[in-house]
Amino acid sequence: MLAVTELSVAYGRVQALRGVSLTVEEGETVAVVGPNGAGKSTLLNTIAGRLPPGDGRITFADKEIGGLEAERIARLGLGLVPEGRHVFETLSVGENLKLGLLASAGRTTEAQLNELLEHRFPVLIRYLDAPAGRLSGGEQQQLAIARAMAARPRMLLLDEPSLGLAPLLVDEVFALIAQLGEEGTSILIVEQNAHRAIALSSRTYVLKSGEVAMTGDREELERSQTDLTSAYMGSED
């Protein structure tokens, strides 16, 4: 479904990613974890077209997408939930959701959006006419995910979905992501909470200083706790 091959990205003279490669199969949930400054968000933003790639390739459903505009990538079926949620706080919840329909390229009707809300995001239904800024942090995260899902993406990119949430709300958000994965949505999740991300995913890539320091499935990483801890040590900023 997604293949990133030897991807390098720089901010001026600062190299943010160095030869990163990863894959996500259809229907699979894959995590990218690592300390602050490791390049996790840079990776997602480059895949989604918000940052230009340097060297390397990015293919989605066998189509080269590296360097395409973010809007074109979204219309191909890649949905991004950015770090910090970025809902439009002065717009209503319903208006935020209708913005998600714009990226669906006709794949989603309002009736299908309503069905999605009833099935997966019922908490949002009672707030449809309320400003999104009135929602709690956890509700805003659900809105950001629902807005991305409104476009019926073939793959969902999640950037730090637990950021700034209370532990109970983190549980709710991770339960929601797990349900989406069980229903067949392909997911690539970037998360600093390594243990939660590893438990959620079939495979995990650990980034350190812009490079893949290690990779493995749940069992492999659980057996390599010393190596995983080592990958988190040291300054990354």
* Whole-number Cα distances in Å, 13 to 10, 16, 200, 211, 237: 7, 9, 35, 17, 15
Residue 237 confidence (pLDDT): 38
Structure tokens at 169: 């709300």
Give mean pLDDT, residues 6-28: 94
145 belongs to a structural domain = no
Q: DSSP character for 193?
A: -
Q: What is the pTM of this model?
A: 0.87
Token readout for 202 is 């079939």
Q: What's the domain count of the chain? A: 1
Distance CA 198, CA 30 (A): 9
- Residue pLDDT, tens place only, 53-69: 999 999 999 999 999 99
Quote the CA–CA distance of 158 and 181 in Å, as a whole number: 12
Q: Contact at 8 Å (CB) between 231 and 38?
A: no
Whether the predicted pLDDT of 156 surpasses 60 = yes
Nearest Cα neighbor of 117 from 156, 147, 73, 158 is 147
212 vs 86: which has the higher pLDDT: 212
Q: Determine how many CB atoms are found less than 10 A away from the CB of residue 39.
A: 25
> Which pLDDT band, with edges at 50, 70 and 90, does 98 fall under?
confident
The DSSP string of 49-93 is TSS---SSEEEETTEE-TT--HHHHHHHTEEEE-TT----TTSBH
Residue 165 lies in a domain: yes
Q: Is residue 30 part of a domain?
A: yes
At 13, which CATH number?
A: 3.40.50.300
Residue 106 lies in a domain: no
* In a domain? residue 24: yes
Range of the domain at 22: 2-88+155-232
Segment 165-217, tens digit of pLDDT:
888 888 988 998 999 999 899 999 999 888 889 999 999 999 999 999 999 98
**Structure confidence at residue 223 (pLDDT):** 77
Q: In what order do the strands lie in the sheet with 78-81?
A: 78-81, 155-159, 186-190, 29-33, 203-208, 211-217
Give pLDDT, residue 114. Answer: 87
Q: Is residue 60 domain-resident?
A: yes
Whether residue 141 contacts residue 189, with contact meaning beta carbons closer than 8 Å, is answered with no
Model confidence at 141: pLDDT above 50: yes
Can you tell me the mean pLDDT for 150-158? 91
**CA contacts within 13 A on the Cβ side of 1:** 20
* pLDDT computed for residue 232 by the predictor: 66
Give the rounded percent of residues in the chain with a pLDDT score beyond 70: 94
Residue 127 within any structural domain of the chain? no
Q: Report if residue 124 sits inside a domain.
A: no
Q: What is the pLDDT of residue 83?
A: 86
Q: Dump pLDDT digits (tens) for 100-133.
A: 877 676 677 788 888 889 888 998 999 999 999 9
- Strand 29-33 and strand 186-190: the pairing is parallel
